[in-house]
Chains A and B, each alone.
Chain A
Amino acid sequence: MPTNTLNGRSFAVDEEGFLTDRDQWSEELATELAALIGIELDEEHLAPLRFMREDSARTGVTPTLRRMQTVGGFDIKALFGLYPGKPAKKMAWLAGLRKPVGCV
């Protein structure tokens, strides 16, 4: 299992770079990771990440965008605005979770 090291912090990742141990995550780490993909994490960006961590702690899987809307109450368009391109993937990565596997 590969390990990423960023600013002196080491964490286990899978072959694609997603964290494999959710307990190695912290909001500080998320902020530093976000800088790598050109995102400045503010409260608006952090809210969906916190929901994803809470939800996945309950269900055991990374929530899909659809679930972020129906369960989390987030606006999909807004999520695309906050995390352009691949929001579900970017958010899962920043939240220290595995890549989402759901189809919808």
Chain B
Amino acid sequence: MTTTTSTLPEGFILPDFGDAPRTTRTVQTGESSAVTTTTSYDGPRKMAFICSKGNLDMAYPALIMGNAALGEGVEVHLFFTFWGLDIVNTKTNDKLRFTMAGNTAMHLDDLGRLRPGLEHASVPQALGNLPGMTGMATRMLKRQMAEQDIPTVPEFLDLLQASGAHLYACRLSFDMAKMLEADLHPGVEGVISAGDFIEIAQGAQIVFV
């Protein structure tokens, strides 16, 4: 499929695709002397995400960043532990919820129509504890995400799997939750221990969510 790479014309600007060295660049350092440098390849960049939360709003950061990293050609590993296991549990991952309780950054745009400036006000914490508020807040967040064309959590996992992400469930959390292997999203490669994950994550930049 691939052909031999042709040489770049002088002065040609090529986007950085992070591939293996392909060019030998000649850098002019003076009138007569020229230094030839070869772009070096340091091995693939790796990122490891630890997903420890099962709230809807806490599921997305790692999924979005992991997907972005894959698009940049980065090797991506996601480790789902504790409440984060709900993200890869097919019995729960389409039902993740978002609660206003404990979130002081909760604002309601529509309040701005009542009185300008109110859209920036923090919604009173007591409201979040009223029956039905978590359901309402979840629907609102899901609608806002859909408007931005962000896939649902199960679809997002499909996308990550297709893009080559490595997904793992935490052995301890899996056993604690008495989970069934059959309930795991098909993209999950295995149920592994924390030690296994640390080994896999060698050389990776780690993001804990």
Please give, as numbers and ranges, the residues of chain A lying within 8 Å of B162 by CB-CB distance. Answer: 75-77, 80
User: Apart from A85-B19, A85-B73, what 8 extra A-B contacts exist at CB < 8 Å?
Assistant: A6-B9, A6-B12, A37-B17, A37-B22, A38-B22, A39-B3, A40-B3, A86-B71
B17 with A89: CB separation less than 8 A? yes
Asked if B40 is at the interface (CB within 8 A of a chain A CB), the reply is no
Number of residues from B at the complex interface, CB < 8 A: 33
A38 and B8 within 8 A (CB): no
Q: How far is the CB of A5 from chain B (nearest CB, A)?
A: 6
A35 to B4 alpha-carbon distance, docked (Å): 8
Residues in A neighbouring B1, C-beta threshold 8 A: 39-40
A22: CB under 8 A from chain B?
no
Q: Which of B8, B13, B16, B159 gathers most chain A CB within 10 Å?
A: B13
How many angstroms between the C-alpha atoms of A17 and B16 in the bound complex?
A: 9
- Known A80-B163, A85-B73, A103-B68; contact A16-B12, beta-carbon cutoff 8 A: no
Chain A interfacial residues counted at CB < 8 A: 36
B64 to chain A, nearest CB (A): 6
CA distance A40 to B13 in the complex (A): 20
A69 CB–B CB distance under 8 Å: yes
Cross-chain contact B159 with A66 (CB below 8 angstroms): yes
Could you say which residues of chain A place their CB within 8 Å of the CB of B8?
36
B199 to chain A, nearest CB (A): 25
Contact flags A69-95 to B (C-beta < 8 A → 1, else 0): 110000111001000011111100100
Q: Contact at A85–B17, with CB atoms within 8 Å?
A: yes
B81 at the A/B interface (Cβ < 8 Å)? no
